[in-house]
A and B are shown apart, each in its own frame.
Chain A
């Protein structure tokens, strides 16, 4: 039997801290607050069209990662680098971005989201409007290209 869809209040209370931590790591506090509100408003807009209550945590994080990517895309043309909080050991976007400048757009996004932001391939696929395996292929194609260029 399908898992019932919980009242939105329950869904929100269950996942809000993890979504905020995820956004905070990637965007810093100030921008994470706007992204947080946008994440849950988007979830709320789609909530009455959900067909079951499974994988709601992954669903919430996918929406959040899409918003991170929107933020990243919006800022990229200005050449301004996001101020990332780098409390984990992953390389910061600042270090990756100049290296990946020469990659095709999709490969660059996949490499940066995977190695700069630590998103899973499924999250990246969702963020790029494709699939997890396409994201994996794009990221490894990007890495191969970088190896060749920097060899």
Chain B
């Protein structure tokens, strides 16, 4: 600790250069934190998707399928539960507050998604109440909703059958997701209500959710479902939830590779920046380093002082940068497939590791130069 003033003084010697270098490091590690946050959120979303649940889409992208498919899918051996889906997007109270109601056969849906926990009485109430919805507890807390509240939504899609766009839902239950409480942000309603009231696409489903008796049979059941409709005008494409999400993400590109490539390029550039700063700093201070040796600092003590300087610069910048990312991301409230983005502890540890590595790689050459400094020659050159 007693050497800290010496290290700090060295960094303050050229304040502008130190500040600019620090800002570059902070910015780079902020980017590192944000991108890793995205990456982790995607991985979490993918891992949360069950390989034991199937989703059935039309092979004609975006085309709804007849709801009658549900009964035929239910008859496929190995299928435990199936539901059609109808989505309703609408604004609540203000145009920017968009809410989506996922209409389904709720009894089937909660069998397919067992990690969503809802009290049996509340589920029964939803099944008995045409306009009943079950709301995620996190969303209810955010909006100040409670059981018994009526929520009006102004529909964003085509008008209802009666020509209006005003929908009304009654909250009859709240659901929890014990493993990810912050992800309980959806609204589940009755397919029948949305289907009967909507002005178009009646008796269709944009997708079917399928639960399996045996998760290991997923591939075989998916094939059987697609074979069912192979000769119909509405052919299907059945995948596990996880495969489905991964295929969507693959359309964006290999995100993991992209993130690592960007972060790698940024850190590589940073390496030269810090190396240049440290080399300049040591070059300018050769007489001062010689004085330290003159008063009794050993070669290795001077070497460690220079390395400590690089470490302080790099590590502090890295921690501030990734710390800012850790603060900003939750505030921004960004989500990937219901997975709230955050910077996990592992990313902080990785940033610290990267900061130390940067400091060592960029700091070792000037530190060695300082170590090898011949006192008499350095003083004579002054």
Task: Decide whether A and B assemble into one complex.
Answer: no
Q: Which residues of B contact A (CB under 8 A)?
A: none
Q: Which residues of A contact B (CB under 8 A)?
A: none
